[in-house]
Amino acid sequence: MKKKNTLPKISVITVVLNNDKYIERCLKSVINQNYPKNKIEYIVIDGGSIDKTVSLIKKFQKKITYWHSKKDMGLYDAMNFGIKKSTGDIIGILNSDDFYNKNALKIVSNYFMKNKIDFLFGSVKKKRIYHNFFPDRLWYTFNVFPSHSVSFFIKKNSQKKIGLYNINFKYSSDRDLIYRLIKNKSFKGMATKKNEVLGTFNMSGLSSRVTFYEKILEEVKIRLSNKEKIIQTFGVMIIFLIYHLLKKTKKKIFNI
């Protein structure tokens, strides 16, 4: 990190594909941050959109540090490109469906300057405010953080040490990365206060279209690829499946 009292440079990476409905709101939320403009690096990676997304990016290109529009191997491949391109002290991911509150980067900067941390989770608005960080619960659930997009920031040096996103996970490479950070005790993370909401997470985005069973399958793969015990992994997943089926049964009964 920079010398004491020197504001860190923050790199924000937005990955987008055919999202002209929300991309402008997303772009503006970064460009209009209440944080010095020379301390913001904004990288936008478009996967070859064929709607109006590219024209909207061009509208703001003078205020975007780097952008391109070309085919890639998916969401996490594009994120990895953005990370490699970044030059900031801190990296944040903001998906094109989502947006920051005006003071988001100011809050993030304060936490990294005042605390010896590698990564941070900010509070996020979904249907309600989600906040806090529960690494001790990782052994049985991946729901230990508010969100990845909007919420998650990491030091560039820590990102280099932990590595990039594993593109073998189609939907959950963010969970894999956070799993690795938590399991490696040398990395320290924390959460902002509940009222320090960094932004809004769109509940109709990509994550909402992933089925329960697809999610479970990827979580099993993540745990096994990170050498978690097979018995523990499948034991936890069986409990989740039973709980899910009981919830579905209960819902059907009440709908009758």
Total domains, the chain: 1
DSSP helix, strand, coil percent of the chain (3-state; round to 5): 45, 15, 40
- Within a domain: 241: no
Coil, helix or strand for 165? coil
pLDDT for res 83? 98
- Within a domain: 79: yes
- Within a domain: 142: yes
- Within a domain: 213: no
Distance of alpha carbon 104 from alpha carbon 175, whole angstroms: 22
Tell whether the model's pLDDT for residue 256 goes beyond 90: no
- Within a domain: 231: no
Average pLDDT of every residue of the chain: 91
CATH number of the domain enclosing 42: 3.90.550.10
34-38 own/partner pairs: CB under 8 Å, 24+ apart: 34/102, 34/103, 34/105, 34/106, 35/7, 35/10, 35/105, 35/106, 35/109, 36/7
Report which secondary-structure segment, H or E, holds 12. strand 10-16
- Within a domain: 250: no
Give the total residue count for the chain. 256
- Within a domain: 253: no
pTM value?
0.89
Tell whether the model's pLDDT for residue 4 goes beyond 70: no
Neighbours of 152 (CB within 10 A): 24
What's phi and psi for 88, nearest 5 deg?
Answer: -75, 170
- Which position has the higher pLDDT, 230 or 68? 68
pLDDT for res 182? 96
Per-residue confidence band for 5, with pLDDT thresholds at 50, 70 and 90:
low
Tell whether the model's pLDDT for residue 23 goes beyond 80: yes
pLDDT tens-digit series, residues 38-76: 999 999 999 999 999 999 999 999 999 999 999 999 999
- Within a domain: 236: no
82 lies in which domain range?
10-204
Residues paired with residue 99 on neighbouring β-strands, in sequence order = 200
